[in-house]
Structure 1
């Protein structure tokens, strides 16, 4: 619980509650905690998508390299192709 409070206080700037009364403060804290958790989920999802994109890009590059190593004439043909007139 300690690191979460520190992250909310430092990174989000939440130093004090805006409402008064235990019930209202409790509701405000639940809202702050929910937005903190949503932010963490969003960051996790974004990093997962970026990792998937990097893996797909690496697989595509290795397939292109393998094709050019196995069939160098195919690479020449694709580089020298011009549209018909």
Structure 2
């Protein structure tokens, strides 16, 4: 539920932060965009599990507050987590 920080990634890749930023920019992405994509995909997976509450999923995704998770998920998908779960998985919680 936590991602390594950018400097740790640079160290593991044997790159300076400037080089990694430049390469990500050349690929039209950023470290934050990559983290968001992973969080979104993992969130969708966990929403398919009816035994997990949305608050539990928020914690699994590294959000300290469910409201932050709701805002981020709505930004990623255009839907709240509960609406997404209901529409895609037929789960009402």
Considering Cα pairs closer than 8 Å and 6+ residues apart, tell me whether 1 or 2 has the greater RCO. Answer: 2
Structure with more of its chain in helix, by fraction: 1
For Structure 1 versus Structure 2, the TM-score category normalised by the shorter chain is under 0.3
Higher-Rg member (1/2): 1
TM norm structure 1: 0.27
TM-score when normalising by structure 2: 0.26
